[in-house]
Structures are given as C-alpha cells and as structure tokens.
C-alpha cells in the first residue's frame, strides 16, 4: 500500500492521474482487507475471553475493554464465519455485507457444495506488515487554506439526493 497525498492535480498528465488512481484503489482494497483481518483477530480474542468467562463476567470484561457487548459478539460471530469460510476475505466484501448476508449465503452454500468447498480452502499465509509515513506538510484545504470555488462546502455535496 503506497500512495502520496497530492497538494493539487494541476500540471499532472492523465497517465499520472490514472496511476495515482490505481494506487488509491489498491490502497483502499488493502486497507479494507487489513481491517477485516483485525476484526477476525478481535473476534478470536473476544471468543477466548467470553468462553468459560476466564476473566470474569462477559459484560464486565467488555466494560473493561470499552467495547459494547453486542459489538464484541458480532466480532465473535465474524471470526466463526471466517474460520469456516476463510476465502470470504478474498471476495472484497465488507464486514457489514458478510454479517448481513451470512444466513442467505449459508443456505445457498448448502446446495452448492463446489462453491462451499472453494470458500473453505484455508489461506496459505497471512502476513501483516505495517509502516507509517508522517509528513510535516499540511494537506491542502486544512486549516485556513481557501478551497477552490469548484469544491463544495460540506453542506452542499455533489452526491446530495443520490439514492
């Protein structure tokens, strides 16, 4: 995952903008996959803490971790789903989509064994490497900078009214 925050796209060729677009799309996909892996790991951790109430009552443990019990339970469920179907992580679905579509998906997979077998294939390896990049340069538009006339104010968005 590598991309640069640009101050402006003025003076860039379409090919340069297209290359930046591809990097941004790839970064979005990678960050979503990383988020999903962190949810799976959190679910595994919460499941460990919840079973046999190893460290006290589940509600007390959740309070100590400053997480809503229902949210923690959703992560536990997500871990169970991904544990059963690890290849769902490669489908570029969101956490919300997997959680909301799981029951119909499970019903579908009961009658489509070939797809179920493919989704059950374990991931070969999972490596999470991270690096933070800090810059002293402010982003354009931050603070007192004037936005260009063609950039709408937050109250007037281009997507307003879109369904």
* pLDDT, tens digit (0-9, with 9 covering 90-100), for 58-68: 999 999 999 99
* pLDDT, tens digit (0-9, with 9 covering 90-100), for 31-55: 888 899 999 999 999 999 998 888 9
* pLDDT, tens digit (0-9, with 9 covering 90-100), for 102-132: 999 999 999 999 999 999 998 876 666 666 5
Quick one: pLDDT band at residue 147, thresholds 50, 70, 90? very low
Quick one: pLDDT band at residue 144, thresholds 50, 70, 90? very low
pLDDT of residue 73: 93
Query: What are the sequence ranges of the domains in the chain?
Result: 14-119
Handedness of CA 47, 53, 59, 63 (dihedral sign): negative
DSSP string, 24-84: HHHHHHHHHHHHHHHHHHHHHHHHHHHGGGTTS-HHHHHHHHT--HHHHHHHHHHHHHHHH
To the question of pTM greater than 0.75 for the whole model, the response is no
Q: Which two tokens stand for residue 92?
A: 């570029």
């Amino acid at each position: 995952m590598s991309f640069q925050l640009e101050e402006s796209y003025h003076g860039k060729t379409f090919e340069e903008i297209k290359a930046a677009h591809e990097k941004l799309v790839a970064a979005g996909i990678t960050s979503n996959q990383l988020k999903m892996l962190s949810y799976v790991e959190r679910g595994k951790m919460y499941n460990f803490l919840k079973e046999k109430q190893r460290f006290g009552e589940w509600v007390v443990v959740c309070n100590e971790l400053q997480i809503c019990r229902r949210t923690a339970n959703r992560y536990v469920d997500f871990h169970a789903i991904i544990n059963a179907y690890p290849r769902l992580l490669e489908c570029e679905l969101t956490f919300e989509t997997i959680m909301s579509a799981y029951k119909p998906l499970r019903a579908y997979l009961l009658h489509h064994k070939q797809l179920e077998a493919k989704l059950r294939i374990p991931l070969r390896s999972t490596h999470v490497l991270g690096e933070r990049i800090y810059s002293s340069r402010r982003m354009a538009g931050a603070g007192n900078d004037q936005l260009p006339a063609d950039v709408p104010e937050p109250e007037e968005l281009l997507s307003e009214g879109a369904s």
